[in-house]
Amino acid sequence: METIGVLGGTGPAGVALGKRFAKIGHQVTLGSRDKSRAIEKVAEVCGEYQELQGLVVGGSNEEAASCDIVVVATPWEGAEATIRPLKASLDGKIVISMVNALLKVGPSLHPYLPPRGSVTAQIQAALPTSKVVGAFHHAPAKELGEIHHGLDCDIMVVSDHKEAREAVVALIDQIPGARGIDAGTNVSAGAIESMTAVLININIKYKTRSSIRLSGLEK
């Protein structure tokens, strides 16, 4: 099993994904700018899910970046500032971005497209020697973190690196109820990230937590 580090691993999405990866047997480091905060968060997680003891640990972002696969789970405004000092540690690695750029406009959330068209592309430009993959944008954090229950969603995966896409699809397929979908290169990343705003607005309107299933696929 790979070691997996989560940058910004103390937020809801990072914690939830870290718990899922630990549940399927991976060694996970939840990283933070403040290592003590990450250690406290892990104590909370393992207090609730004792079976994760030893599989998930708290550390600094630098320690998380030393893992085999690294997930960026920071707020979008701070993603590039977080990863740039870690560029050497992330050289050659698969770096998964689950970051969505969203703006609150009145009662609704609107997608924000960075200059390169997506957060995934922005991170790839900041880490030219890493294999950046966009994934997990539409996975609802609450359900993702309820590790005693399977998910019910398809997770679209994009990257300009084919082998990295395939590796992340295979990783997702290990999660009960989840299905990884190869959605091609980073050309599609902006549309996928933007769809998150639509789902959240639907969830607010209907007081639910929706996710995406794609029909017509035999996988």
Residue 17: predicted pLDDT: 97
Mean pLDDT over the full length of the chain? 96
Q: 190-215 burial, b for 16+ CB within 10 Å, e for fewer?
A: bebbbbbbebbeeeeeeeeeebbeee
218 or 66: which carries more pLDDT confidence? Answer: 66
Do the Cβ atoms of 28 and 126 come closer than 8 Å? no
Give 9-48 as a DSSP string.
TTSHHHHHHHHHHHHTT-EEEEEESSHHHHHHHHHHHHHH
Q: Mean pLDDT over residues 77-95, rounded?
A: 97
**pLDDT category of residue 218 using cuts at 50, 70 and 90:** confident
pLDDT higher than threshold 80 for residue 1 = no
Sheet containing 131-134: which strands, arranged edge to edge? 56-60, 27-32, 3-7, 69-72, 94-97, 131-134, 153-159, 178-182
Segment 116-173, tens digit of pLDDT? 999 999 999 999 999 999 999 999 889 999 999 999 999 999 999 999 999 999 999 9
> What's the CATH class of domain 3-206?
alpha beta
The pLDDT assigned to 217 comes to: 92
| Comparison of pLDDT for 103 and 219, the residue scoring more | 103
Q: Work out the average pLDDT over 50-76.
A: 98
Domain ranges of the chain: 3-206
pLDDT of residue 141: 87
Rg of the chain taking only CA atoms, in angstroms: 16
Report the greatest alpha carbon distance in the chain: 47
Distance CA(24)–CA(176), nearest Å, equals 9
pLDDT category at 219 given cuts 50, 70, 90 is low
C-alpha to C-alpha distance for 26 and 1, rounded to whole angstroms: 5
Stronger pLDDT, 97 or 209, i.e. the higher one:
97
Q: If 0-12 CB within 10 Å is exposed, 13-18 middle and 19+ buried, where does residue 92 land? A: exposed
Whether 22 contacts 80, CB under 8 Å: no
Tracing tokens 């609450």 back to the chain, one arrives at 142
